Structure 1
């Protein structure tokens, strides 16, 4: 019979790590690649875990997470139109499928979901940004709560997100190094807590902070839409805001858009104006949706790992159900993917 020690030696990890992976320990911090290597090696060597032996005897261990409620800040039509948020949801659903967990989805509306719906679930995952009142209400009625793609800035609430402020600053630093000087921004403002907070959105706030720090802030280069009512940043929004920037006497030489959908709308506005990308105006964006690489020219964009955010949200719930009593905030790294829509900075 194959032993855990033999699997550990083959993969190059400790026996304890192999044991925890093969017994689905939710508190274990390990890279997906290493986890997959352990599982595939165990399967190749025909190792039979205690859980599999239980299944063979008709005694499969039940999942701790039996019922999950997903609360989304978007309406269904807006979520479907945004591949990034579809990816977050698919990450949650795929992880729950492995756990045989029932999922109930609640999308954005003017009314809060039924309290009993949340209270009856093992855990709740909230996707996207919500107001302080909504956060407090959901927390009050949830046994275990995780925010995905949003950090409510509370030490005791679990969350998983990518740092959009950091990603924006990296973009701007690269654009400056590439020789761009007039950097336009297309994004959104928010009105989450009663009053419009024009610069509360993380990418927008980071853009303004960076421009002011560099002494180059020009409010004319800022084109914002109000998307705080539960709608996504769509192609037509990017098209309309890009036309506003193109109407300036002194146009930007590069446009940063808050997501790839808005970048596609920006492409159309530039092409209608007879402008070439990136010769006349460059474009750079966020999300790296599948179509980004097939645009003409292919779009330079920040890859945000939506499915990993969704999977990690489920793992955080499992940790809570296994006894973790402290809050945990997980940041998923982003990756800048350079394509032909923007000059790449010279190599250091």
Structure 2
């Protein structure tokens, strides 16, 4: 009679747990990231041989290379990029830090950054601060830890002592880590700081826009500017005033307004000016989004553009040509701004020299939203 109790052969009872342990080890190997030692063991070669094969800097036989790459693929092995970055064997990414990734202007800067970075074999990272200085601090520190080749801060800023201190801190910390701070669409800092600046001609663009209106016989030009403390807004306001002065037109305080670069701001400021009885024959909006709101307010008031009021914008975003009438505006080379920022930063990284400050030009694009007044 066979005994099914304690007299079972020892191998039967002991063998089952061993099988489970092997299965557990295999499952654990699948759950954790594979290491270079796992690859070496599976390929039957040394860790040094795997490293040389993946780096491509040392001759190995075709047979060995085939075994190593087959092991890499089957184990889903991923090279430790951070370790390679620390050793200088991998090019660091380009980090783009901006307030809002949904705005049409900033989106075009991001496109230029991505295109130039890709052309140079670099990964680009896009981060949004949502206008929170603390978040900006965290993102710059994170990019420093990620060994970014360059950190690009994009868009106008409120220029005060706190801003100067923060930017100086960024520039020095990134430089110490072998990275580079790049200010895009912002004015330069102190000359002794390690920073690259790529800006565009806000003043000249506004001067052209207002001069175009004045040359067409307009003397009362409502200005829908940005927030005075923001760098780009201040430069555009100066361009507006300088154009009035250059053409002998009187400056009127009630025509000079400030607000945000938003559609609603343009709408309400234009509506308020009309309701207050402010007289103007032309309107200069400091951004195309502001112009969009102004056009809506003029239509609501039953006014024709350009028959009753001429309108000029700033940016030349894609929808400017689709408005009724097509919008005369100042073209900012936003994609080129992004491309130039990456190019200057990376060329400096490679050669340790280069131009640290560049200002790109703007261009007045004349369409159908301005009417010439009869003299």
Normalised to the residue count of structure 1, the TM-score between the two structures is 0.71
The superposition leaves residues 52-83 of structure 1 with CA deviations (integer Å, 9 ceiling, x where unpaired) of xxxxxxxxxx99852122121x23xxx31x21
Match of 1:94 among 111, 115, 119: 115
Match of 2:225 among 170, 176, 187: 187
Residues paired across the two proteins, number: 270
Match of 2:276 among 248, 256, 269: 248
Q: Aligned to 2:283, what secondary structure does the other structure show?
A: strand
CA distance, structure 1, for counterparts of residue 228 and residue 282 of structure 2:
24
Aligned partner of 1:201 in structure 2 is: 234
| Over 6 Å off, 4+ runs | none
The farther-off stretch of 295-304 and 337-346 is 337-346
**C-alpha deviation, 1:215, in angstroms:** 5.2
Q: Aligned to 1:238, what secondary structure does the other structure show?
A: helix
Match of 2:255 among 221, 228, 233: 221
Q: 1:198-347 to 2 correspondence within 5 Å?
A: 201-212=234-245, 214=248, 216-225=250-259, 227=260, 233-325=261-353, 327-343=355-371
In structure 2, do the counterparts of structure 1 residues 327 and 182 end up closer, same or farther at CA, with 3 Å as the change threshold? same
Hey, which of these two has a bigger chunk of helix by percent?
A: 2
Instruction: Check whether the contact 1:106–1:113 (CA below 8 A) recurs between aligned residues.
Output: no
Aligned partner of 2:203 in structure 1 is: 165
Which of the pair has more CA radius of gyration?
2
Aligned partner of 2:172 in structure 1 is: 140
In structure 2, do the counterparts of structure 1 residues 190 and 137 end up closer, same or farther at CA, with 3 Å as the change threshold? farther
**C-alpha deviation, 1:152, in angstroms:** 2.2
CA distance, structure 2, for counterparts of residue 122 and residue 259 of structure 1:
32
Aligned partner of 1:126 in structure 2 is: 153
Q: Aligned to 1:189, what secondary structure does the other structure show?
A: coil
CA distance, structure 2, for counterparts of residue 248 and residue 267 of structure 1:
18
In structure 2, do the counterparts of structure 1 residues 209 and 177 end up closer, same or farther at CA, with 3 Å as the change threshold? closer
Q: Aligned to 2:226, what secondary structure does the other structure show?
A: strand
- The alignment's C-alpha RMSD in Å is 2.6
The farther-off stretch of 282-291 and 243-252 is 243-252
Q: Aligned to 1:101, what secondary structure does the other structure show?
A: coil
Aligned partner of 1:104 in structure 2 is: 125
Q: Aligned to 1:336, what secondary structure does the other structure show?
A: strand
Match of 2:186 among 150, 153, 170: 150
**C-alpha deviation, 1:243, in angstroms:** 1.1
Instruction: Check whether the contact 2:288–2:315 (CA below 8 A) recurs between aligned residues.
Output: yes
Aligned partner of 2:214 in structure 1 is: 176
Higher RCO (CA < 8 A, seq sep 6+): 1
In structure 2, do the counterparts of structure 1 residues 69 and 276 end up closer, same or farther at CA, with 3 Å as the change threshold? same
| Residue ranges of structure 2 left out of the alignment (5+ in a row) | 1-87, 158-162
In structure 2, do the counterparts of structure 1 residues 244 and 324 end up closer, same or farther at CA, with 3 Å as the change threshold? farther
Normalised to the residue count of structure 2, the TM-score between the two structures is 0.66
The superposition leaves residues 220-257 of structure 1 with CA deviations (integer Å, 9 ceiling, x where unpaired) of 001211x4xxxxx2211111111122223242110000
